[in-house]
Amino acid sequence: MSISTVARMEIKLPGQDAEDIIDQLLGGGEDQSLMQTLTKEKALVRIRLENRRGHYVTIVDFGNSEDAKQLGIKDMARELKKRLAAGGTIRDSWIEIQGDHRQKVKKLLIEMGFKEENILIDEGVTET
């Protein structure tokens, strides 16, 4: 790819991290999308609830950080927080969402392409 070709490419910087920009420059979007779809179909997701000093936190655990990275955990967390109207964060290979949203998260993950039989919900509450 010549410098003039790179100069003519439109790059959207706001809201993107370095990996997104590199993927956009290298044109890796389609392969990444296919890999994401395959990973969603085989991913085992565990959803549990923790009680932290009187506040509930829903944990969406994707197992290992490599699978989580392939799934696009950042975009997924952003979408879940928006759809649930809740705050949250990302830790290693899991998403933390404020409040008890176990059933709603399962429904949203199915809409995102995860297999229902691969989404496990822990009905108990873990005290931390």
Residue spans per domain, the chain:
33-115
Question: Against a cut of 0.75, is the pTM above it?
Answer: no
How far is Cα 70 from Cα 53, in angstroms, rounded to an integer? 33
User: Which backbone phi and psi does 91 adopt, to 5 degrees?
Assistant: -130, 125
Q: What is the pLDDT along the chain (128 residues), one digit of tens a residue?
A: 555 555 555 555 556 666 666 666 655 555 667 666 777 777 889 999 999 999 999 999 988 777 777 788 999 999 999 999 999 999 988 999 999 999 999 999 999 988 999 999 999 898 88
Pick the CATH number of 33-115 from 3.30.780.10, 3.40.50.150, 1.25.40.10, 3.40.50.2000: 3.30.780.10
The dihedral region occupied by 34, where left means phi > 0, alpha psi between -120 and 50, and beta the remainder, is alpha
Query: Taking the CB of residue 89, how many other CB atoms lie within 10 A of it?
Result: 12
Which residue is listed with tokens 């822990």?
Answer: 122
Q: List, as own/partner pairs, every contact residues 98-107 make where C-beta atoms lie below 8 angstroms and the sequence separation is at least 24, other chains included.
A: 98/55, 98/56, 98/57, 98/58, 99/56, 99/57, 99/58, 100/49, 100/56, 100/58, 101/58, 102/47, 102/48, 102/49, 102/58, 105/47, 105/58, 105/60, 105/80, 106/47
